[in-house]
Amino acid sequence: MNFDFSDDQKLLRDQARKFLQDKCDRKSVRSILENHKQSYNAKLWSQISELGWTGTAIPEEYGGLGLGMLELCVIAEELGRALAPTPFSSSIYIFAEFLKSYGTDEQKKKYLPLIASGEKIGTFALSETNGKPKPNNIKTQYVLGKLNGSKNPVSDGESADYIIVAANSDGNSNYNSLSLYIIDRNDPGVNISNLETIDPTRPACTVDLENVACERLGDEGIGWEMIDNIFNRAAVLFSFEQVGGAQVSLDEAKKYSLERFAFGKQIGAFQALKHKMADMYVKIELARSNAYYGAWALSTDSNELPIAAAGARVSASEAYNFASQENIQIHGGVGFTWEYDCHLFYRRSKLLSLNIGSIRQWKENLISNLEKRNIV
Amino acid sequence: MDFNDTPQEAEFRKKVRAFLEANAEKRSTLSSKPNGDSGSSISSAGAPETVKGEDAAKVALDNAKEWQRKKADAGFAAILWPKEFGGYGGTPIEQVIYAQEEHDYFVHSGYFEIGIGMLGPTMMAWGKDEDKKRYLPKMITGEEIWCQLFSEPSAGSDLAGIRMKAEKDGDEWVLNGQKVWTSGAHFADYGMIVARSDPTALKHKGLTYFYVDMKTPGIEAKPIKQISGSANFNEVFFNDVRIPDSQRIGAEGDGWKVSLTTLMNERLAVGDPPGLDFDQIFEASKEIEVEDGLAVKNSEVRQKMADWYIQSRGLQYTKYRSMTALSKGQTPGPELSISKLVTASKMQDVSSYALDLMDMSGMVHQDKNPVLKNLFQNGYFFSAAMRIAGGTDEVLRNIIAERVLGLPQDERSDKKLPFNELPSGKN
């Protein structure tokens, strides 16, 4: 039994933590939160790119470091702890993973080195309407080599250079008519307009497409299958971000409860708060363990991945939501002020539990994959 | 990251498997038959039933002793014990591996767990050499069964509030009072007991630890019938029970210190709780019809089941993390402390929800129930006890808050006064 990260991976974690404590403090997170003109911290982005984080799990032949997915999990947890305001997840967990899994060699050569170096940023555009994206509500169409339609919300769309767009083709809208296409945001038919989000440190936008040139990624008509697969991979990475953020929420709740006195003692001495923090701990440990299992499945290309990813996603989303909510509660009145940091985690936790599909959607994924496994 | 055994661990697992396959019967998912009990109700793995037919009880005990003897002969009865007392001289990871493997079989291990897991190690740490030589080997083989006489009516979560009197009379001690929640007191041969030898001392200072022969005159065990209808525990009355001072373990007044050795071993001793979990309700949901067809296809049911899945597997993977530490020869982190807290409530939620799904038929709870063999009815009752036994949910949350998170201890009014001056609601 070796269900743990290696010593080298732990060393990487310690280095990443130290680096982010230094370069990504709360002031820098707030500068993005409060400055609507900036969608991410460009300086931090170039620093973490220089460190090679963006290329962690991209093969060396395509300009990456060629390390494994476990190393990327380690970095994800640290980015989550630090609330790093960068498009890392869109560009690395999703765009790069799409290219790695489905790009032709030519496409990999064209895009991956630019993504690995952090020079260019990629993202993915799927949703078009209220509620869960599904075949009949994807109106974006691919006709005669051009894309037309409108996508929103698109995470990190404003900073993206390349966008993978999900589109139906030739007037169809069924499970087998969706394909994915790569576009360049500089195409004259692309129009991007910002959207406010519940967490402005993780921005989104609307992307309107009018006769936009594109190249197809992966086989025609397997778009939904590709999305499931890449979202499973991303879910594991996000679960580490979530566990990281949840842990800091608990740590800060605990710290405050030891500093704040009421009724003649530290509020952390009241059982009502002790038990609440014990419950936070329990949920976080379960989430961490589920995330580890996801990491194992991801790093070994196990066919357990759909189940492991859904388990990690649900567990980590719930743990982070709970921890960030109760962190505000433990802080009392100051917890809901702009000045205190509790809301940064409250915002981030909810956004992360929605960005690649809601908890209820992933619970459904989990059970349906368990049913499939039982049949096989 | 991998789930593979080291070569030594794999070798050990192979030996265990071969032994179990040759000697025991395997379990299936939808079976209400728990460890050590062939009757209709779920009992805790550590607490065999006390009331059922005398004959049935005797047969169950004889079977258990036979199994224990086989286990001892094969060397697996006490993995962590040193060889000189008949143990395996093994490592914690080997003990975990054995427990994992045995969990899949119907076997009678509950009768001996308290002795081997908790009381034996206490005797090894604090007992006299002649006692170790005399008692430990027979504890392992199951020839002599031991029980733990700690809790009292007014000393549950607050265990140090023990009121059982131990009064010195020459070379003897005279015990008077009552113990409660004692598993197996009616068939145990010996017991270990903590009593108050000095009520004028501070609460934790006035206790002394002994062992007693359960056939000593003045000891009477009565089963406690639980809400499930079964009786896994006893209350035990002591009336002028005289024991020699040679049966004292540790110094006079050191009873609390010695007890801590017993309690520290509890976590290792208490095995996997009986299975009523995601797997059971997932299987059952494929057989139960709700308003829109099979329960497994209903979206509300699926959402609920997902919650239990992540708890169940989260605990399993948490154990893997602890095993990893053990396997590397390290002490596991505090993460294991969440196990019973999560398991007990999950079992209660799962059973209660499964009964809802069964609708009117969920009311039925009789022998040979054709609907899912009473699995969830039994779980409904058993889980209520499980949230209390071995540390209540509330005590466990306190333990996590204080020992894991380092939050302040509760303010206590019982640390500075002599025991007999503490408020008890009775004086």
Residue B164 lies in a domain: yes
What confidence tens digit (pLDDT) does each residue in A243-256 have? 999 999 999 999 99
| One-letter amino acid of B189 | D
Least confident stretch, A67-71, B201-205, B385-389: B385-389
Q: Which of B82, B117, B96, B119 is nearest to B332 (CA)?
A: B96
Domain shared by B289 and B387, yes or no:
yes
The number of C-beta contacts closer than 8 angstroms across A and B is: 153
Q: Which residue of chain A comes nearest to B3, CA vs CA? A: A1
What is the tally of structural domains in chain A?
A: 3
Task: Measure the CA–CA gap between B98 and B116, rounded to whole angstroms.
Answer: 14
Parallel, antiparallel or unpaired: strands B172-182 and B207-213: unpaired
- Check pLDDT > 70 for residue B318: yes
Domain shared by A25 and A79, yes or no:
yes
| Cβ count within 10 A of residue B142 | 24
Task: Measure the CA–CA gap between A23 and A82, rounded to whole angstroms.
Answer: 10
Domain shared by B170 and B112, yes or no:
no
Of B84, B112, B141, the residue that ends a domain is B141
Domain shared by A228 and A286, yes or no:
yes
More confident residue, A348 or B261: A348
Domain shared by B169 and B133, yes or no:
no
Q: End-to-end CA distance of chain A, in Å?
A: 27
Q: Which pLDDT belongs to residue B40?
A: 29
Domain shared by B117 and B132, yes or no:
yes
Q: Which pLDDT belongs to residue B353?
A: 97
Domain shared by B15 and B135, yes or no:
yes
Residue A196 lies in a domain: yes
Q: Which residues contact B296 (CB under 8 A, 6 or more apart)?
A: A367, A371, B282, B285, B286, B302
Q: Which pLDDT belongs to residue A166?
A: 98
Q: Which pLDDT belongs to residue B44?
A: 37
Of B241, B268, B295, the residue that ends a domain is B268
Q: For helices A305-331 and A342-352, what crossing angle results, to 10°? A: 160
User: Confidence class of residue B37 from pLDDT cuts 50, 70 and 90?
Assistant: very low
User: Confidence class of residue B263 from pLDDT cuts 50, 70 and 90?
Assistant: confident
Q: Which of A231, A120, A233 is nearest to A182 (CA)?
A: A120
Q: Which residues pair with A179 in a beta bridge?
A: A167
Q: Going residue by residue through chain A (376 aa), what tens digit of pLDDT does each one get?
A: 889 999 999 999 999 999 999 999 999 999 999 987 889 999 999 999 999 999 999 999 999 999 999 999 999 999 999 999 999 999 999 999 999 999 999 999 999 999 999 999 999 999 998 889 999 899 999 999 999 999 999 999 999 999 999 999 978 889 999 999 999 999 999 999 999 999 999 999 999 999 999 999 999 999 999 999 999 999 999 999 999 999 999 999 999 999 999 999 999 999 999 999 999 999 999 999 999 999 999 999 999 999 999 999 999 999 999 999 999 999 999 999 999 999 999 999 999 999 999 999 999 999 999 999 877 6
Domain shared by A354 and A217, yes or no:
no
**A269 min Cα distance to partner chain B (Å):** 5
CATH classification at residue B349: 1.20.140.10
* Average pLDDT of every residue of chain B: 88
Domain shared by A213 and A237, yes or no:
no
What is the tally of structural domains in chain B?
A: 3
**A37 min Cα distance to partner chain B (Å):** 40
Domain shared by B49 and B110, yes or no:
yes
Residue B419 lies in a domain: no
Chain A environment of B296 (Cβ under 8 Å): 367, 371
**A193 min Cα distance to partner chain B (Å):** 36
Task: Measure the CA–CA gap between B422 and B427, rounded to whole angstroms.
Answer: 9
User: Confidence class of residue B334 from pLDDT cuts 50, 70 and 90?
Assistant: confident
Residue B425 lies in a domain: no
Domain shared by A357 and A244, yes or no:
yes
CA distances from B403 to A274, A278, B313 (A): 11, 10, 25
Q: What is the mean pLDDT of residues B350-378?
A: 89
Of A191, A221, A251, the residue that ends a domain is A221
Residue B411 lies in a domain: no
What are the φ/ψ torsions at residue B177 (nearest 5 degrees)?
A: 150, -165
Domain shared by B182 and B208, yes or no:
yes
Residues 57-116 of B with CB under 8 A from A: 93
Q: Which pLDDT belongs to residue A315?
A: 98
Are A286 and B405 in contact (CB < 8 Å)? no
What confidence tens digit (pLDDT) does each residue in B64-90 have? 999 999 999 999 999 999 998 889 999
Q: Which pLDDT belongs to residue B29?
A: 63
Domain shared by B395 and B280, yes or no:
yes
Chain B environment of A366 (Cβ under 8 Å): 306, 309-310
Range of the domain at B61: 7-141
Domain shared by B261 and B278, yes or no:
no
Residue among A1, A278, A300 minimizing CB distance to B323: A1
- Check pLDDT > 60 for residue B271: no
Residues 120-179 of B with CB under 8 A from A: none
Domain shared by A49 and A14, yes or no:
yes
CB A277 within 8 A of CB B401: yes
Residue A171 lies in a domain: yes
Candidates B167, B252, B266, B335; catalytic one: B266
Domain shared by A255 and A323, yes or no:
yes
Sign of the C-alpha dihedral, residues B175, B178, B183, B188?
positive
Domain shared by A240 and A366, yes or no:
yes
Residue B41 lies in a domain: yes
Q: Which pLDDT belongs to residue B201?
A: 96
Q: Which of B368, B353, B415, B295 is nearest to B40 (CA)?
A: B368
Task: Measure the CA–CA gap between B27 and B105, rounded to whole angstroms.
Answer: 5
User: Confidence class of residue B274 from pLDDT cuts 50, 70 and 90?
Assistant: low
Is B266 assigned a catalytic role? yes
More confident residue, B372 or A272: A272
User: Confidence class of residue B38 from pLDDT cuts 50, 70 and 90?
Assistant: very low
Of A221, A243, A277, the residue that ends a domain is A221
**A22 min Cα distance to partner chain B (Å):** 26
CA distances from A331 to A228, B5, B99, B255 (A): 39, 45, 43, 42
Domain shared by A301 and A289, yes or no:
yes
Of A221, A236, A262, the residue that ends a domain is A221
Q: Which of B32, B139, B80, B66 is nearest to B367 (CA)?
A: B32
Domain shared by B253 and B286, yes or no:
no
Q: What is the mean pLDDT of residues B224-235?
A: 88
CATH classification at residue A195: 2.40.110.10
| One-letter amino acid of B310 | I
ipTM of this predicted structure = 0.95
- The position carrying tokens 């929800």 is B353
CATH classification at residue B87: 1.10.540.10
CATH classification at residue B220: 2.40.110.10
More confident residue, B340 or B308: B308
Q: What is the mean pLDDT of residues B193-217?
A: 97
Range of the domain at A252: 224-375
Domain shared by B198 and B234, yes or no:
yes
Residue B40 lies in a domain: yes
CATH classification at residue A333: 1.20.140.10
How far is CA B373 from its chain centroid? 25
Domain shared by B244 and B176, yes or no:
yes
- Check pLDDT > 80 for residue B416: yes
